[in-house]
């Protein structure tokens, strides 16, 4: 294979990182290999001499990223790590240290992890994380004495030995950063409502330390219910079932003074009828009651004709309607016509022995009255004749 390596191409990655020729491969690879693809790149590259067979052989150029412009493929360079040292004080315990999972090359500037480790309390005080330094700092600072600038003397790479750092530049070795710790002596601001209380749930208020991000919270008392001025019907009353009313809170579902609303029973209206029968309906819930077949009787109507009228509801079969109460006798009793005699006996139908007994009784009474009158007159005449003698 040719030893010429002076091939070049325009970067095809979205970050515009320089891409350089890395060797030859029997398979075609469109994208340039990255530092993280070290194993894949080694498998793709053809090394040494190739013994040709009887057919042509096509080799494809392999490209690699060179993000630090060293002229060496990134996957061939030595990689470095950032080591996070908890720097525990006075045999305390540190938890939650960040872990560097990146692959860094010489010349890379790497931002430190955002995770904030924690330290066990010491001497009855809370210990808090202050920041990362490039050299170990023994002891625990007060907030006022904590390192904040690069004025305490220069260390490697131009950074102050006790200054906090947020990023580091890797040169030719791994870099260790150390946690710095301080006693937490909060300077609290004023309490402010965070979540307002309601009549069913406690709220919270909080205050924030003016020198750090610490927050302290405490619960607020539940508010009293604010009751409506009037009762609310929770369950409407029906003809057969009691209802319920209560006093409601204006802001939640709470109730008090639950009070039954007594049922008053059905309120039935007048008779209703059709050709098949009669019934009565409740004016509140429309339930039907007293339904039954008509009991027709023949009556003499105001038009001088005999009509069949129900003796229960007053339904006239011919008129197909219930007669009004003013139409002769009471329509509810099925009696029509203007004769008091007809009203009394309602002209019995054939086969109605009770009606005929009434007729016989009335006739007998009339005959008895007539005989009594005649006898009384005869007795008076006899008495006058005796007196005259």
64 closest CA partner among 55, 72, 73: 73
Mean pLDDT, to the nearest integer, of 13-20? 90
Q: Does the structure show a pLDDT above 90 at 195?
A: yes
What integer pLDDT is reported at residue 244 of this predicted model? Answer: 97
Q: Does the structure show a pLDDT above 50 at 253?
A: yes
Query: How many CA atoms are closer than 13 Å to the CA of 309, on its beta-carbon side?
Result: 31
Encoded tokens for 144: 């006022």
- Does residue 249 sit in the same domain as residue 276? no
- Over residues 314-350, the pLDDT tens digits come to 999 988 888 876 443 444 343 333 333 333 334 444 4
Banded model confidence at residue 176, pLDDT cuts 50, 70, 90? very high
In the chain, which ranges are continuous DSSP H helix? Answer: 38-44, 340-345, 353-388
What integer pLDDT is reported at residue 156 of this predicted model? Answer: 34
Banded model confidence at residue 49, pLDDT cuts 50, 70, 90? confident
What integer pLDDT is reported at residue 139 of this predicted model? Answer: 86
What integer pLDDT is reported at residue 347 of this predicted model? Answer: 42
Is residue 14 in some structural domain? Answer: no
Is residue 372 in some structural domain? Answer: yes
Is residue 221 in some structural domain? Answer: no
Q: Does the structure show a pLDDT above 70 at 138?
A: yes
- Does residue 86 sit in the same domain as residue 133? yes
What integer pLDDT is reported at residue 322 of this predicted model? Answer: 86
The torsion angles phi and psi of 101, rounded to 5 degrees, stand at: -110, 10
- Does residue 64 sit in the same domain as residue 109? no
Considering only residues 137 and 329, tell me which one the structure prediction assigns the higher pLDDT: 137
Is residue 314 in some structural domain? Answer: yes
- Number of independent structural domains in the chain: 5
Banded model confidence at residue 152, pLDDT cuts 50, 70, 90? very low
Is residue 238 in some structural domain? Answer: yes
Could you give the 3-state DSSP secondary structure of residue 343?
helix
- Does residue 150 sit in the same domain as residue 107? yes
Task: Give the residue numbers spanning the domain of 179.
Answer: 79-183
- Does residue 118 sit in the same domain as residue 165? yes
Is residue 4 in some structural domain? Answer: no
Most confidently predicted of 61-70, 152-161, 182-191, 206-215: 61-70
Separation CA 109–CA 167 (nearest Å): 7
Residues ≥6 apart with Cβ < 8 Å to 286: none
Mean pLDDT, to the nearest integer, of 34-63? 86
What integer pLDDT is reported at residue 190 of this predicted model? Answer: 95
DSSP summary character for residue 173? S
Banded model confidence at residue 186, pLDDT cuts 50, 70, 90? confident
- Over residues 255-284, the pLDDT tens digits come to 999 999 999 899 999 999 999 999 999 998
Is residue 287 in some structural domain? Answer: yes
220 closest CA partner among 238, 201, 233: 201
Q: Does the structure show a pLDDT above 60 at 160?
A: no
What integer pLDDT is reported at residue 126 of this predicted model? Answer: 86
What integer pLDDT is reported at residue 128 of this predicted model? Answer: 87
- Does residue 319 sit in the same domain as residue 234? no
Average pLDDT, the chain: 81
Q: Which one of 148, 183, 218 terminates a domain?
A: 183
What integer pLDDT is reported at residue 384 of this predicted model? Answer: 54
Strand partners, 207: 216
CB 161 within 8 A of CB 153: yes
- Does residue 111 sit in the same domain as residue 143? yes
Q: Lowest mean pLDDT: which of 199-208, 240-249, 300-309, 318-327?
A: 318-327
Separation of CA 230 from chain center: 29
- Over residues 343-387, the pLDDT tens digits come to 333 444 444 444 444 445 555 665 655 555 455 555 556 555 554
Considering only residues 364 and 204, tell me which one the structure prediction assigns the higher pLDDT: 204
Is residue 113 in some structural domain? Answer: yes
What integer pLDDT is reported at residue 358 of this predicted model? Answer: 45
- Does residue 105 sit in the same domain as residue 163? yes
- Does residue 361 sit in the same domain as residue 276? no
Residues ≥6 apart with Cβ < 8 Å to 209: 186, 187, 188, 189, 215, 216
Strands 192-195 and 204-208 turn out to be: antiparallel
Q: Lowest mean pLDDT: which of 42-46, 84-88, 93-97, 194-198?
A: 42-46
Separation CA 92–CA 119 (nearest Å): 7
What integer pLDDT is reported at residue 2 of this predicted model? Answer: 55
What integer pLDDT is reported at residue 341 of this predicted model? Answer: 32
- Does residue 154 sit in the same domain as residue 83? yes
What integer pLDDT is reported at residue 339 of this predicted model? Answer: 35
121 closest CA partner among 51, 184, 57: 184
Could you give the 3-state DSSP secondary structure of residue 262?
coil
- Does residue 85 sit in the same domain as residue 137? yes
Encoded tokens for 298: 């023949």
Banded model confidence at residue 302, pLDDT cuts 50, 70, 90? confident
- Does residue 72 sit in the same domain as residue 83? no
Q: Which one of 207, 242, 261 terminates a domain?
A: 261
């Amino acid at each position: 294979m040719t030893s010429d390596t002076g091939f070049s191409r325009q970067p095809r990655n979205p970050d515009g990182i320089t891409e350089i020729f890395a060797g030859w491969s029997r398979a075609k690879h469109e994208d340039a290999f990255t530092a993280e693809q070290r194993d894949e790149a080694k498998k793709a590259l053809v090394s040494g001499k190739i013994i040709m067979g009887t057919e042509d052989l096509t080799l494809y150029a392999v490209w690699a990223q060179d993000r630090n412009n060293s002229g060496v493929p990134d996957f061939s360079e030595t990689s470095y790590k950032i080591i996070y040292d908890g720097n525990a004080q006075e045999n305390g315990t540190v938890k939650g240290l960040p872990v560097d999972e990146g692959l860094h090359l010489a010349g890379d500037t790497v931002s430190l992890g955002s995770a904030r480790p924690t330290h066990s309390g010491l001497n009855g005080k809370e210990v808090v994380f202050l920041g990362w330094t490039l050299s170990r700092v023994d002891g625990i600072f007060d907030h006022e004495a904590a390192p904040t600038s690069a004025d305490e003397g220069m260390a490697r790479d131009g950074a102050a030995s006790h200054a906090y750092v947020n990023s580091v530049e890797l040169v030719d070795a791994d870099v260790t950063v150390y946690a710095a710790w301080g006693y937490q002596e909060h300077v609290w601001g004023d309490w402010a409502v965070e979540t307002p209380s309601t009549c069913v749930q406690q709220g919270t208020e909080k205050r924030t330390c003016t020198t750090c991000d610490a927050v302290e919270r405490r619960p607020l008392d539940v508010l009293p219910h604010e009751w409506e001025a009037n009762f609310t019907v929770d369950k409407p009353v029906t003809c057969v079932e009691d209802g319920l009313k209560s006093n409601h809170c204006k802001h939640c579902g709470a109730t008090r003074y639950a009070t039954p609303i007594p049922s008053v029973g059905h309120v039935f209206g007048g008779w209703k009828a059709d050709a098949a029968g009669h019934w009565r309906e409740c004016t509140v819930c429309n339930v039907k009651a007293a339904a039954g077949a008509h009991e027709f009787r023949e009556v003499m109507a105001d038009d001088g004709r005999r009509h069949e009228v129900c003796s229960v509801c007053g339904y006239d079969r011919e008129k197909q309607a219930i007669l009004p109460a003013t139409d002769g006798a009471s329509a509810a009793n099925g009696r029509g016509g203007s004769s008091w005699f007809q009203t009394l006996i309602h002209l019995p139908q054939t086969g109605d022995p009770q009606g005929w007994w009434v007729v016989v009784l009335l006739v007998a009474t009339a005959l008895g009255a007539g005989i009594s009158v005649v006898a009384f007159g005869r007795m008076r005449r006899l008495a006058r004749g005796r007196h005259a003698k």
